[in-house]
Amino acid sequence: MRPSASRPDQSGVPETAAHETAVLTIDLDALAANYLLLRERAAPAECAAVVKADAYGLGMAEAAPVLWRAGCRTFFVATLREAIDLRTILPDAIIYMLNGLLAGTAETLHQWHLRPVLNSADEIREWAAYCTSAGETLACAIHVDSGMNRLGLSAADVEDVREAADLWPALALSLIMSHLACADDQAHSKNADQRARFDHLRAKLPQTLASLANSAGILLGPDYLYDVVRPGVAMYGGHPRRQGDNPFHPVVHLTGRILQIREASPGETVGYGATRTLSRPTRIAVVSAGYADGLFRALSTGDGEHGLTAYLGPHPVPILGRVSMDLISIDVTDVPEALATRGAWVELLGPNVSAHAMALHAGTIDYEILTSLGTRATRRYVGG
């Protein structure tokens, strides 16, 4: 178990040791609140939880029990290793493995009471054959491709297996699912196209529970909810759609400690490559966080650019120059000197600096921000 701590103070940082230079605080109460909000929006559908990639980088060992206590009973992971790890944490959970049935792994899934999401006709046949040899009808899901051209049965695969009378009695089909490609854009016509294709394909297969909506899909409305929804990024505080405000609570708070305050003159430059030239007398705070801590190098700001703005207390403090491996420079000229001091903490991600805002400046998405936070910052878990 990773360290836990009391709630952050107004600086966003729980009590810290003198040697700690960056702190990643994960609010497990906010995680639970986001899950409950998603469950309310998805009702009467069951609200599962996606905890793959170590719960989007935030710690599956800490997040999964909190979600279980909030009432979640069905979980999705990507790989067999993740599924086994989750089973050791939640012995009674329903666990689906999204990446499918790798050849020769059926016995291991059976041993750990895991449910593969079968993505091809070959996988369906292999699972059915194993069930027959084991003498049990074992649960599984089937993923149909509704237009994303990633994992999932094609229309031809569906036709191939729909009339295979020997397959369906051998296994226990518990879920048919697909995945939306453009749910983050509510106005995109592909959403309705995929829903229609999903309905068309699942009508050819044995009747069972259906699942289409991810975090953004839940917000598309009741036509996309079906029987089970599978939120991920929204639970962790990310913004699941392009339009509108984010209704979900921030879960992640990343802070860096100021190592030094510097005075610089107009015409001087800041950082590698001398990409930022100062236009006024400037107080610079050097902060102990960089791309090794998940602050992408793409957050760098050169001359004439307005990049990510961090916060020192209530004061916005823009990044100056390039993000390096261990350090960033921020402009604290307009911050009271009593606040901008050696040892003070700067909010890099949190209530004032959302993962969505950071993603926009870095040219990426909330998912990549959350899963790239690294392991160097001291982790603190609060609540839960």
Contacts of residue 25, Cβ cutoff 8 Å, sequence gap at least 6: 5, 8, 12, 13, 14, 252, 253, 254, 255, 379, 380, 381, 382
pLDDT tens track for 302-312: 998 888 899 99
Burial of 55 (0-12, 13-18, 19+ CB in 10 A): buried
What does the pLDDT average to over 189-211? 97
Overall number of domains in the chain? 2
Residue 186 lies in a domain: yes
Last residue of a domain, one of 175, 209, 236: 236
Active site annotation includes 96: no
- Asked if omega into 314 is within 30° of 0 (cis), the reply is no
User: What percentage of residues in the chain have a pLDDT greater than 70?
Assistant: 96
DSSP secondary structure letters along 243-269: SS---SPP-EEEEEEEEEEEEE-TT-E
Catalytic residue among 52, 96, 236, 381: 52
Same domain, 150 and 116: yes
Last residue of a domain, one of 236, 269, 304: 236
CA distances from 371 to 30, 153, 292 (A): 18, 28, 13
Same domain, 202 and 261: no
Tell me the CATH number at 303: 2.40.37.10
Same domain, 269 and 205: no
Same domain, 280 and 363: yes
Last residue of a domain, one of 205, 236, 267: 236
Taking the alpha carbons of 101, 105, 107, 108 in that order, is the dihedral positive or negative? negative
Same domain, 231 and 270: no
Determine the pLDDT at residue 241.
Answer: 87
Residue 22 lies in a domain: no
Determine the pLDDT at residue 15.
Answer: 63
What does the pLDDT average to over 323-346? 96
pLDDT tens track for 16-61: 677 888 999 999 999 999 999 999 999 999 999 999 999 999 999 9
The model carries a pTM of 0.91
Tell me the CATH number at 216: 3.20.20.10
Same domain, 223 and 308: no
Active site annotation includes 272: yes
Burial of 15 (0-12, 13-18, 19+ CB in 10 A): exposed
Same domain, 266 and 193: no
Domain ranges, residue 305: 252-382
Residue 247 lies in a domain: no
Determine the pLDDT at residue 17.
Answer: 72
